[in-house]
Amino acid sequence: MKTMKTLLVIVLFIAMASLFVTINTFKTETVYRKTLPDYGEFRILSAGNNEEVKNTIDVTGTYTTYADPDKVEIYLGLQTDSDDASDSQQQNAAIMQKIRNGLASKGITSTSIQTTQYSLEQIREWDDIKRVYVNKGYRTIHIIKIKLTDINKAGEIVDVAVENGANRVDNIVFGLSDSKTKTMRTQALTEAAKNAREKSDAIASGLGVSITKVIHASEGYIGVTPYYVAKGLAAEAAAAPTEISPGQIQISASVSVSYEFA
């Protein structure tokens, strides 16, 4: 009889120990993950999960402003056609030298000039009668970019280039210098952040809550859009000085912010 009592005590002790281990396992394990073929991954949160759920308002602030340009880039040059490839190149080189000399007379140094396109290609046209492409000679194209900080000289420079043989004025692009770009980008981001706060305050007011702090903030986008003046593929000497009026440069930015409220 005494032996039976002893055995019963041992069994009860083992059962209680097992129960204690099981309870502690449920207390310490807060998240279970399981993947089933039909349902994918899911999560089960136990009663012991201490993860804090924050009350947040997520907004995107935007801002757009405009600035006067302080630089201009002019893309111009010439194309020369000839029956002979070498003759086309030589004509092009001679005229381009005249253009460069004309620009130099206006104070444009070689450091302000950059070649952006140079090509020699065969001119081929479709003959409807013979039903074949026919060789019509060769074409050399040489386009240069002229950088100016005095934007008021853009029209004058175009006229000088055309007077000296340029027959292509592809684009005139007004923009901002690096220092001005940096200043305007900073201003745009600052104002976009202010706009984000204004939006969050309006939402919080409508909900009857108060913003307490910023949880997260990140730059969305920021862009500086140059002002383009397309002059066309062909250019002729103007009877009167060319007047080119620059437009303003657009600067836009956005900021995404997450606010906590109470």
Q: Are both 88 and 215 inside the same structural domain?
A: no
Estimate to the nearest angstrom the gap between the alpha carbon of 97 and the chain centroid.
37
Same domain as 140, residue 98: yes
> Tokens in use for 221?
């986008």
Question: Residues for the chain: how many in total?
Answer: 262
Whether 125 is in a domain gets the answer yes
Are residues 134 and 241 located together in one domain of the fold? Answer: yes
* CB contact set of 100 (below 8 Å; sequence gap of 6+): 110, 113
Domain identity same for 88 and 151: yes
Q: Is there a single domain that holds both residue 164 and residue 202?
A: no
Residue 32: per-residue pLDDT:
37
**Do both 14 and 117 map to the same domain?**
no
* Model pLDDT for residues 31-80, shown as the tens digit of each residue: 334 343 443 343 434 444 555 657 999 999 999 999 999 999 999 999 99
Same domain, yes or no: 159 and 240: yes
CA-wise closest residue to 120 among 77, 156, 144, 84: 84
Per residue in 221-261, pLDDT (tens digit) is 999 999 998 765 455 555 567 888 899 999 999 999 999 99
What 3-state DSSP class applies to 149?
coil
Contact 171, 229 (CB under 8 A): yes
Task: State whether 112 and 210 are in the same domain.
Answer: no
Q: What is the pLDDT of residue 52?
A: 62
> Is 107 found in the same domain as 145?
yes
Domain count, the chain: 3
144 lies in some domain: yes
Query: What pLDDT score does 54 carry?
Result: 77
Domain range for 206: 56-67+180-224+253-261
244 close to 148: Cβ distance less than 8 angstroms: no
Helix (H), strand (E) at residue 224: strand 211-225
Query: Does 51 map to a domain?
Result: no
Least confident of 14-23, 101-110, 146-155, 186-195: 14-23
What does the pLDDT read at residue 45?
A: 41
Average pLDDT of the segment spanning 6-18: 55
Task: Establish if 78 belongs to a structural domain.
Answer: yes
* CATH code of the domain containing 146: 3.30.70.2970
Claim to verify: residue 193 and residue 63 sit in the same structural domain: yes
**pLDDT over 70 (residue 198):** yes
pLDDT, tens digit (0-9, with 9 covering 90-100), for 75-95: 999 999 999 999 999 999 999
The residue among 44 and 203 whose pLDDT is bigger is: 203
Q: Please report the pLDDT score of residue 122 as a whole number.
A: 96
pLDDT of residue 3: 55
pLDDT on residue 130: 85
Residue 195 resides in a domain? yes
Residue 75 lies in a domain: yes
Q: Are residues 214 and 238 in the same domain?
A: no
* Per-residue pLDDT tens digits for 140-192: 999 999 999 999 999 999 999 999 999 999 999 999 999 999 999 999 999 99
